[in-house]
Amino acid sequence: MRFPAVCVACGQPAGERLTLQKRRGQLTRRVDVPLCAECARRLARRSGREERLLRLSWLAAAAAALLWVVVALVALPFDAWWPRLLVGLIVGLAAGVWVRRALARRAVAAELPERRAVREAARIDDFTWRDMTLAFADGEMAERVRAMNPAFTQNPTPDAATETSATPVEELSI
Ligand SMILES: [Zn+2]
């Protein structure tokens, strides 16, 4: 895949790269897109609330895991300690992951608007083993990428599932 040497978020000359990533089951698709230094800085800057929520997410996850281990050790009706510990670890791990994800989602909701704008400038909308749909917030950028990659086709009407972002989206499929 080829991209013009300009930032996907603002169109300035690009020196950095942003790795787009999307996971589905065991499959992960990654694409590097150009980003300017200024937008890379915007992407790295977190709001105070986002920072706090992320820190809290690890603490809360560890606390939830520990709580379930203790509860399992105390309350389960097995005589041997190790099945109680094993069940406690499994449930505790699941609880920890759940708590961490829930708080990480809230952290994303608290991100700075300029960070979100960079993050949503380009994304992998969908992919299968042989094709991929990229979505661009800026129609002009989508057109330039399409011109450089003749194998791409344009999706003029994004389907309902992609209408999650407030910004208009141009899509390209390969
Ligand atoms: Zn930029």
What distance in Å separates the CA atoms of residue 88 and residue 83, rounded to the nearest whole number? 8
- Quick one: what percent of the chain has pLDDT higher than 90? 72
CA 161 to centroid of ligand 1, rounded, Å = 27
Of 2-11, 97-106, 110-119, 142-151, least confident by mean pLDDT is 142-151
What distance in Å separates the CA atoms of residue 110 and residue 118, rounded to the nearest whole number? 15
CA 11 to centroid of ligand 1, rounded, Å = 6
What distance in Å separates the CA atoms of residue 50 and residue 10, rounded to the nearest whole number? 24
CA 146 to centroid of ligand 1, rounded, Å = 19
pLDDT digits (tens, 9 = 90+) for 15-40: 999 999 999 888 899 999 999 999 99
Write down the residue that tokens 């560890």 correspond to: 62
CA 48 to centroid of ligand 1, rounded, Å = 23
pLDDT at 63 over 70: yes
Of 60-64, 73-77, 96-100, 124-128, least confident by mean pLDDT is 124-128
Which residues, by Cβ under 5 Å, contact ligand 1, an ion? Answer: 7, 9-10, 12, 36, 39
CA 173 to centroid of ligand 1, rounded, Å = 23
What distance in Å separates the CA atoms of residue 120 and residue 123, rounded to the nearest whole number? 6
CA 126 to centroid of ligand 1, rounded, Å = 24
The CA-CA-CA angle for residues 42, 43, 47, to 5°, reads: 75
CB < 8 Å & 24+ apart, contacts of 123-128:
123/20, 123/22, 124/20, 124/21, 124/22, 124/29, 124/31, 125/22, 125/158, 125/162, 125/169, 125/171, 126/22, 127/22, 127/24, 127/27, 127/29
The CA-CA-CA angle for residues 136, 139, 141, to 5°, reads: 70
Q: Averaged over 38-45, what is the pLDDT?
A: 95
CA 14 to centroid of ligand 1, rounded, Å = 7
pLDDT digits (tens, 9 = 90+) for 74-117: 999 989 999 999 999 999 999 999 999 999 999 999 999 999 99
DSSP state letter for 6: B
Give 39: exposed, middle or buried? Use CB within 10 Å, 0-12, 13-18, 19+.
buried
| pLDDT range class, residue 154, cuts 50, 70, 90 | confident
CA 50 to centroid of ligand 1, rounded, Å = 22
pLDDT at 157 over 60: no
CA 10 to centroid of ligand 1, rounded, Å = 4
